């Protein structure tokens, strides 16, 4: 990223440049607008077909060069970008779109490949973009379902932590089912049904948690030391061994596997890239990225920029989460080797 791109991300732009987006340009009653940027014409066609089936209005469908050259057209309420191969111009364009989306409320869905994941992730740090890795058609539709559920018209309330985890599990199951359906009969109707299952998941009312009575906010608990990273690595290896003898999906627990990996890395004073953390999760990268986003939103993980290269970012435990992992291992004690 050059200096001019960095300046764009840090300084406000003229108001007229940021007047586009979901909250300003979508009159009530009209379908949400969608912009598609993809070099592969086949992908553009599939995205347009699925978006229209989901009730979106495709306002822009063009190649990545338009985005890199500073396309001045409105972004739309939702933007789908397919960039399997990224170069400096594409990364700069993603960075600019990320800023615009953050200011306007536009939802971004960006698909890429594993080799480009760290670079793409580093560029998308403001808008809460969904990143898909080598997605199939079903995964793209599931992503659209998540986006549709985020708009005010959906009238969704804030979910509790347990409900969020339940919805994440449901999304994984729906994605797996949709993938099988696609392989058997990849029809837009089947994929649309999968997306509807995600956006229409039941969400019962839950009261917001309250502060414990009589407990002063200033109370501090002595922080236990993090566990020996060699112990954590042994636990990770033992968990991975199960996949040699059983279907790995039987034991899929991406949140815990990522917590273990980040705990060991923190004790080793080692930084963890998003690609490395996706591998540690034991689930497909797109699924892992959803969990990472959820854990960041809950304050369990934090995104840490690379001071030497602003295009890169790493994932770390939050101090609160690190304390919780330390207390957990301190309570388990020597029995941790049996976990």
Averaged confidence pLDDT in the chain: 77
pLDDT tens-digit series, residues 130-187? 999 999 888 888 888 888 877 755 443 444 555 455 545 555 555 555 555 455 554 5
pTM here is: 0.71
Read off the pLDDT band of 23 (50, 70, 90): very low
Tokens of 311: 């295009």
Q: Please give the sequence-ordered ranges of beta strands (E in DSSP) within 17-129, or none if there are none.
A: 33-38, 57-62, 78-82, 107-112
Once rounded to an integer, what is the mean pLDDT over residues 123-134?
93
**What pLDDT, on a 0 to 100 scale, did the predictor assign at position 333?**
75
What is the 8-class DSSP label of residue 150? T
Q: What is the CA radius of gyration of the chain?
A: 21
Report how far residue 37's alpha carbon sits from residue 106's, in angstroms, rounded to the nearest whole number. Answer: 14
Give the pair of three-digit tokens for residue 109.
């869905």
| Euclidean distance between CA atoms 333 and 336, whole angstroms | 6
Residue 216 is predicted with a pLDDT of 52
Phi first, then psi: what are they for 327, rounded to 5°? -65, -40
Q: Tell me the per-residue pLDDT of 285-318, one tens digit each, with 9 for 90 and over.
A: 999 999 999 999 999 999 998 888 777 899 999 9
Residue whose tokens read 């191969």: 85
Q: Is 78 helix (H, G, I), strand (E, B) or coil?
A: strand
In this structure, the number of other CB atoms found within 10 A of the CB of residue 49 comes to 14
Per-residue pLDDT, averaged over 254-283, amounts to 95
Q: What percent of the chain is modeled with pLDDT above 90?
A: 43
Distance CA 217, CA 169 (A): 34
Q: How far apart are CA 61 and CA 303, in angstroms?
A: 32
CATH of domain 3-9+16-199: 3.40.50.2300
Closest-CA residue to 259 (of 234, 232, 238, 297): 232
pLDDT band per the 50, 70, 90 thresholds, residue 3 = very low
Q: Is the pLDDT reported for residue 83 higher than 90? A: yes
pLDDT band (50, 70, 90) for residue 65:
confident
The pLDDT score that the predictor gives to residue 198 is 46
Average pLDDT of the residues in 240-267: 90
Between 221 and 31, the higher pLDDT residue: 31
Provide the terminal-to-terminal Cα distance of the chain, rounded to the nearest Å.
44
Per-residue pLDDT, 44: 92
What CA–CA distance (Å, rounded) separates 138 from 182?
A: 7
For the chain, the structural domain boundaries read 3-9+16-199, 229-338
**DSSP β-ladder status, 107-112 and 78-82:** parallel
Whether CATH 1.10.10.10 fits 229-338:
yes
Cβ contact 312:122 at 8 Å: yes
């Amino acid at each position: 990223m050059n200096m001019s791109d960095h300046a764009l991300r840090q300084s406000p732009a003229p108001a007229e440049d940021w007047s586009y987006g979901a909250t300003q340009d979508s009159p009530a009653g009209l379908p949400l607008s969608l912009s598609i940027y993809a070099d592969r014409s086949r992908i553009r066609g599939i995205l347009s077909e699925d978006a229209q089936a989901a009730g979106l209005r495709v306002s822009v469908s063009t190649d990545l060069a338009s985005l890199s050259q500073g396309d001045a057209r409105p972004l739309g309420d939702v933007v789908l970008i397919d960039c399997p191969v990224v170069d400096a111009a594409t990364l700069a364009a993603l960075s600019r779109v990320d800023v615009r989306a953050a200011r306007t409320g536009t939802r971004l869905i960006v698909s890429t490949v594993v080799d480009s994941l760290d670079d793409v992730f580093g560029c998308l740090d403001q808008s809460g973009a969904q990143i898909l890795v080598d997605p199939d058609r079903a995964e793209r539709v599931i992503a659209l379902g998540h986006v549709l559920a985020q708009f005010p018209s959906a009238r969704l309330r804030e979910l509790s932590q347990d409900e969020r985890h339940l919805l994440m599990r449901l999304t994984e199951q729906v994605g797996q089912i949709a993938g099988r359906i696609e392989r058997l009969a990849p029809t837009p109707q089947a994929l649309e049904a999968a997306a509807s299952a995600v956006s229409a998941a039941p969400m019962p009312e839950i009261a917001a948690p309250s502060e414990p009575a009589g407990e002063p906010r200033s109370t501090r608990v002595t922080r236990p030391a993090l566990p020996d990273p060699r112990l954590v690595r042994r636990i990770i290896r033992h968990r991975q061994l199960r996949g040699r003898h059983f279907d790995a999906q039987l034991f899929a627990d991406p949140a815990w596997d990522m917590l273990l990996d980040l705990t060991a890395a923190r004790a080793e004073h080692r930084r963890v890239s998003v690609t490395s953390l996706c591998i540690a999760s034991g689930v497909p990268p797109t699924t892992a990225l959803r969990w990472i986003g959820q854990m960041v939103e809950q304050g369990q993980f934090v995104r840490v920029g690379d001071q030497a290269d602003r295009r890169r970012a790493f994932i770390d435990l939050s101090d609160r989460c690190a304390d919780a992992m330390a207390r957990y291992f301190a309570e388990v004690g020597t029995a941790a080797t049996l976990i």
